[in-house]
Amino acid sequence: MSTGLADGFEPLSDRPRRLYDIWNRWRGGRRMPARRDVLPEELRDLLPYIALMQATPNPLDCRYIISGDAVDRASDRGVKGMTIREVLAMGSHGVAGRNGATGNRSIVEEISAMYGAVITDGEPSFSRGSMEYRDRGFITFDRVLLPLAVDGRTVDHLLCGFFYNLG
């Protein structure tokens, strides 16, 4: 069972830690909370950076159910109702993986592996990425992926935080 942010992960702001702490409180003694445990009123100032996704066996087919204003602005258009595959195909943002480097893996493979690990293992994920952002060139962001499961075992939703460094 996860007990905190990933070793060595230093977030750009306090938002990833706050989102994780709220998720951790919601789960109580369980491995992970359920979607019904998510209380938007407890996420008030984080809501612009939050997305809720329907989890699927193929991570690229995970679908955005809800997306905050900052998430939608970063994609140049709303992502609600779209899959990860569709968002990546838009090509509007060249999202790079951990610390902006994808190594020998394509971004599609990296994103698939990252989301797939959360779905399969039921453990949170914390990473840093970079993306092309309108007229600002590339910006960095922290990505937090938190599993949700109605039965406490099989991940059926992902609570995601995308915290952009626009400074």
pTM: 0.85
- Give tens-digit pLDDT for 97-152: 443 444 556 888 999 999 999 999 999 999 987 766 555 567 788 999 999 999 99
- Give tens-digit pLDDT for 46-88: 999 999 999 999 999 999 999 999 888 887 778 999 999 998 8
Work out how many domains the chain is built from and give that number: 1
Residue 61 lies in a domain: yes
What tokens does 164 get? 């952009």
Residue 7 lies in a domain: no
Residue 9 lies in a domain: no
Domain span at residue 159? 15-165
- Residue recorded with tokens 């407890």: 42
CATH at 68: 3.30.450.20
Residue 10 lies in a domain: no
Residue 144 lies in a domain: yes
Residue 154 lies in a domain: yes
